Structure 1
Amino acid sequence: MAGKTHVAVVAVIVVACAAGLLQGCTDERNGPVEAVKAEAGGPEVDYQAGLQALGQGNQTEGIQRLEKAAQAGHALAMLKLGDIRNADAGDADGDAAIAWYEKAASAGNIEATRKLGIAYATGRGRNEPDPAKALPPLEIAAKASDPEAQLYLGQVLIALTRYEEAITWLTRAGEAGQARAWYVLGEMYYQQQTVDQDIDKAFGYYGKGAEAGNNEAQLMYSFFYLTGRGTKKDKAEAYKWALIADQASSPKSRGALKYLEPKLSDNDKADGQQRADAWKAANPTKVPKPTK
């Protein structure tokens, strides 16, 4: 009898809400309706409620709801919990992030699989960087067409001295919009630490990275124009790319300008400034953002 009464009460609440008769029915932070919805909706409702609580600044409730969803097998809740722990710098946080990413990856979430590989590669938590351990999850995510995973896979393959495979994956990453992949390829062909030096290829890859908005590639592109490596010397063009790179306000870009400016005439500076302004106006989304 008590069970029937409970069902009847729930039904009355739901009908009343639909009719707009009960105050607070739309308030997902409290009230019996939220409990009914959570019971009816399962882990997805807990996941959405967790996100809402986090958005309202209620970290404790948000994590509790996400954990409830995760315990019921909700992969996105596992991923979000991993991201929350990964945002903190402590070793314990890193370990917890890895644990959640492992669970989400096991549930088939590609973003978590990529983040798990990155955590292994960078030595998150109490782990040392481990390219070999990072390889399997990054391969899974890269083969699932995750561009960032392709970038990290390429870098891991460099660490494992599998250079031809690295070039393949870095190229795919660059073509998929990962601008830093072009910079890494440029470094491979310029620094002589992985493959035979090829100045022309290095210049070409730095150029792709620079045009795509990578700050490091822009600095190298500037240097190549200044010194005439792989191209004709052009001090104004060198200044252009140094100015663009300096939008990041990084110590490296500041140092590059300090080194470059005494070597330029007033005409070089004026021409370079004009070219930089034109490029930034034409490519507003690719202008480097200030470093944090």
Structure 2
Amino acid sequence: MMFKTGGAAAFAVAWLGLATAAFAGTAEGRAALQAGDFATALRELGAAARAGDPQAQNLYGTMLKDGAGGAPDKTAAAAWYRRAAEAGDAEAQVNLGYMLFHGDGVPRDRQAGLGWYERAAEQGHAAAQFNAARVYWDGDGVPRDPQKAMKLFAAAAAAGLPEAQFSYGVALLAQPRPDAPQAFNWFSRAARQGEAPAYAKLAAMYLLGQGVGKDPVAAQTWALLGEAAGDPLAKQLREKLEADLTPQQSAAARQQAAAFVPVRERE
């Protein structure tokens, strides 16, 4: 998945947990990234990339794309992503797919971008599954295919990707025969991971008893969280509920909202 550089620490954290390096220099480059030493990371990862390590090629490509340690070079980044992607590196396949699909530093080619998403999705890469699902759901440059999108959303959601869990819930409600209980389940999982768009969905479902029993306190809890995240629908729901709740219920909802701490299902 593409990411934007947010300082040395943010850049380094994005790459924690990668597999043990197969080529000399990759481990050293990773360690340098974690330490924020971009000059060393560029040197070590560049050497490992030129030696043919797909993981190093992907990391090196991302450093070049984001300008970590120098000026951004998206053309070179795409070339390194392609080498790693053709060697089967799923992360590089997603990164190359993103650049092609969005024309980010390379000529836009949505068909080719989708093709790389799908190759990574076949390897079980959750972000690739989600990206491809959105393309098929929206019909963005390809014929719309809700069934294929649903399968991909489901796979990414099951892997724990919160944005996929939210989107899968939306898709379940948009079916000719909506599945509200399953949608509620996926909105719940997404919300508990901190996926803010899911908060208002849960608030509305608890308010209406859609897919779950009516619970005005739970509805207000999620409405408060959604409003705090800047969701105008959540604000409307909070105002509506506030007029109907007892002071005790209102206090309980505020206490629960204040105590809420998102917990990620996956790193």
Report the counterpart of residue 26 of structure 2 in structure 1.
Answer: 47
Name the Cα RMSD after superposition.
Answer: 3.2
Residue of structure 1 aligned with 2:167, choices 184, 192, 203? 184
| Normalised TM-score (structure 1) | 0.66
Report the counterpart of residue 187 of structure 2 in structure 1.
Answer: 206
Instruction: Show structure 2 runs of 5+ residues with no match.
Output: 1-21
Residue of structure 2 aligned with 1:148, choices 120, 127, 132? 127
Residue of structure 1 aligned with 2:82, choices 98, 102, 127? 102
Report the counterpart of residue 75 of structure 1 in structure 2.
Answer: 54
Contact 2:117 2:129 in 1 (8 A): yes
For the pair 1:223 / 2:204, whether they are aligned, the reply is yes
Contact 1:131 1:156 in 2 (8 A): no
> Residue 88 of structure 2 aligns to a residue in which SS?
coil
Equivalences, count: 233
Q: Which has the larger radius of gyration?
A: 1
Alpha-carbon distance in structure 2 between the residues aligned to 1:88 and 1:230: 47
CA deviations on 1:198-242 (whole Å, 9 max, x unpaired) are 262544543343345422122211123334544554332211113
TM-aligned CA distance change 1:125 to 1:267, over 3 Å: farther
Q: Which has the higher helix share?
A: 1
Amino acid at match of 2:150: I
Alpha-carbon distance in structure 2 between the residues aligned to 1:92 and 1:53: 19
TM-aligned CA distance change 1:55 to 1:233, over 3 Å: closer
Instruction: Show structure 1 runs of 5+ residues with no match.
Output: 1-42, 288-292
Amino acid at match of 1:285: V
Residue of structure 1 aligned with 2:95, choices 89, 105, 115? 115
Report the counterpart of residue 167 of structure 1 in structure 2.
Answer: 150
Alpha-carbon distance in structure 2 between the residues aligned to 1:61 and 1:69: 12
Report the counterpart of residue 262 of structure 1 in structure 2.
Answer: 239
Percent sequence identity is 28
Residue of structure 2 aligned with 1:63, choices 42, 62, 74? 42
Alpha-carbon distance in structure 2 between the residues aligned to 1:207 and 1:52: 37
Alpha-carbon distance in structure 1 between the residues aligned to 2:111 and 2:193: 30
TM-aligned CA distance change 1:267 to 1:286, over 3 Å: farther
TM-aligned CA distance change 1:237 to 1:61, over 3 Å: closer
Alpha-carbon distance in structure 1 between the residues aligned to 2:230 and 2:25: 45
Alpha-carbon distance in structure 2 between the residues aligned to 1:57 and 1:65: 13
| Normalised TM-score (structure 2) | 0.71
Contact 2:194 2:262 in 1 (8 A): no
Contact 1:92 1:125 in 2 (8 A): no
Alpha-carbon distance in structure 2 between the residues aligned to 1:88 and 1:74: 21
